[in-house]
Amino acid sequence: MSSYDYLIVGGGMAAAAAVRGIRSLDHSAGIGLLSAEGDPPYRRPPLSKGLWSGEKEADLPLPVDGAELLLSRRALRIDLASREVEDDRGERHGFRKLLLATGGRPRRLPELEGALLYRDLADYRALRRALEAGVQSVAIVGAGFVGSELAAALTRAGKQVDLITAGQGIGDRIFPPGLVEALGRFYAEQGVRLHAETSVKAQEHSSSGQQLLLTDGQRLNVDLVVCAVGIQPNSELAASAGLPVGDGILVDPFGQVGEQPVYAAGDVANFFSPFLSKRVRVEHENHADLHGELVGRNLAGAGEPYLEIPFFYSDLFELGYEAVGELNAGLRVVEDWKEPYREGVVYYLQGERLSGVLLFGVWEKVEQARGLIRSGRPFLPDELPGQI
Ligand SMILES: Cc1cc2nc3c(=O)[nH]c(=O)nc-3n(C[C@H](O)[C@H](O)[C@H](O)COP(=O)(O)OP(=O)(O)OC[C@H]3O[C@@H](n4cnc5c(N)ncnc54)[C@H](O)[C@@H]3O)c2cc1C
């Protein structure tokens, strides 16, 4: 049986960042990185962006300085008493400290059994192969980050895309209604057929492709269906070991899980945000990177609390944005457009507290937005325009 000072379960961006964090304090420790994926850690965001516009798979790998890679293995059990993890090959791996960086997996919809799910490089390769084998039309179910980015990438690749959402349009959970409407028009101009406020009732397979019956009565004939309706955290491994789990694995400010020598980081970790005054789980690259690195340092003894306000970003054809804090269409929003729905700042208020900032087509203002949120200053809505 192999044994490690630090065993990391998961091979995503948080895992790679954790290796970096450990190594910043401990150059010689034995690190094992056990991942269900066959690929070593890599940057995930290009799967729906750069890889469709010239970036190469060879550009994606992340450094994992001196970690022993245990790939194509799924951790099935954690034995806290003996400090061992058992994988799906029946092999056991000992640890002094354990990091769970198991991220999330795409949600499935029962009515879309045969749909392609989209999360990792293997999914990207499967989609590429299908397109190269002659797929011309793709229905994407879900118009959140991954669905809307993939719709843009595949349209640019010359495919006919139907984008289906039960919501009111693209990004309706985070954007104000005017922006959602404008994005719908913009996507239509680019050639995407957007079907909002409807969902798939039934899917039928035929020799010539697939037919989707939508709840609004439409029938769509497409070659391929992608289901992109968000992720659920991979927290079952932790739960089965008796570790505290809610929406994700519950960690303290240091990333530690209860009193155990176990930590969690990235998409799977549920932590208390002092700036939002509540527990949150963040599913974005910058958080995976910052939290992964900090928790890695804490595995190696740093004892530093997580006080970051991570940012996130997305590309929608040639439009794009960066955002900080909590963007929630249900909050009070204050819009400050320089050019309507192309360039502007949207502020999200919880009472008088600023909880999020959307920088739409506005660049290099992330630190300023962070500063405003971090300040904890009370704001009246008419005091916000012009702050950034
Ligand atoms: C297509 C796509 C585009 C994205 N674009 C953006 C973007 O533009 N901006 C942005 O901010 N964020 C984006 N994200 C989100 C961002 O990539 C994630 O937040 C980040 O990668 C999460 O990293 P993670 O390591 O916490 O989890 P994950 O990336 O989910 O990695 C988890 C790892 O754990 C492994 N694993 C799970 N269970 C087990 C087990 N039992 N045993 C062994 N291994 C296991 C998985 O196989 C995987 O390797 C995008 C995500 C996707 C999928």
Q: Is the CB of 87 under 6 A from ligand 1?
A: no
- In ligand 1, which atom is closest to the CA atom of 46? 3
pLDDT of residue 319: 97
Task: List the strands of the sheet with 248-250, edge to edge.
Answer: 245-246, 248-250, 269-273, 278-280
Ligand 1 near 37 CB (within 6 A): yes
Give residue 107 CA to ligand 1 midpoint distance, Å.
13
Are 87 and 75 in contact, with CB atoms under 8 Å apart? Answer: yes
Cβ 289 under 6 angstroms from ligand 1: no
The full DSSP string for 274-341 is TTTTEEE---SHHHHHHHHHHHHHHHTT---------EEEEEETTEEEEEEE---TTSEEEEEEEETT
Please give the helix or strand (H or E) that residue 160 lies within, else none: strand 160-164
Integer Cα distance of 97 and 77 in angstroms:
15
35 Cβ inside 6 Å of ligand 1: yes
Please give the pLDDT value at position 201.
95
Q: For a pocket test of ligand 1, which of 19, 53, 234, 235 has the largest count of ligand atoms closer than 8 A to its C-beta?
A: 234
Structure token pair of residue 122: 């293997």
* 202 Cα distance to chain centroid: 28
Task: Tell me, in angstroms, the distance from the centre of ligand 1 to residue 329's CA.
Answer: 24
pTM over 0.85: yes
Task: Find out whether the beta carbon of 235 lies less than 6 Å from any atom of ligand 1.
Answer: no
Do 281 and 247 touch, CB atoms closer than 8 A? yes
- Choose among 211, 235, 57: nearest CA to 139: 211
Residue nearest to atom 7 of ligand 1 (CA): 45
The whole-angstrom separation of Cα 173 and Cα 203 is: 26
Distance in angstroms (rounded) separating the CA atoms of residues 206 and 212: 11
Residue 164 has which token pair? 């289906």
- Cα 335 to middle of ligand 1, angstroms: 31
Residue pair 345/358 in contact (Cβ under 8 Å)? The answer is yes
Neighbour-count burial of 375, counting CB atoms closer than 10 A to its CB (0-12 exposed, 13-18 middle, 19+ buried): exposed
State residue 262 phi and psi, 5-degree precision. -125, 140
Per-10-residue mean pLDDT, the chain, length 388: 96 98 97 98 97 96 96 98 98 98 96 93 97 96 96 97 97 96 98 97 86 96 96 98 98 96 98 93 97 98 96 95 96 98 97 96 98 95 97
Strand ranges of the sheet holding 200-206, from the earlier edge strand across to the other edge: 200-206, 209-214, 219-222
- Give the side-chain half-sphere CA count within 13 A for 175: 25
Amino acid present at 82: S
CA of 175 to the centre of ligand 1 (A): 23
Question: Per residue in 330-345, is it b (16+ CB within 10 Å) or e — as a string?
Answer: ebebbbebeeebeebb
Residue 68 CB-density burial (10 A; 0-12 exposed, 13-18 middle, 19+ buried): middle
Encoding tokens for residue 45?
């965001």
Residue type, 55: E
Domains annotated for the chain, with CATH where assigned, are: 2-105+232-299 (3.50.50.60), 108-227 (3.50.50.60), 318-383 (3.30.390.30)
Residue 364 burial (C-beta neighbours within 10 Å; 0-12, 13-18, 19+): exposed
The pLDDT score that the predictor gives to residue 1 is: 83
Which whole-number Å values give the CA distances from 39 to 62, 67, 73, in the listed order?
Answer: 11, 14, 11
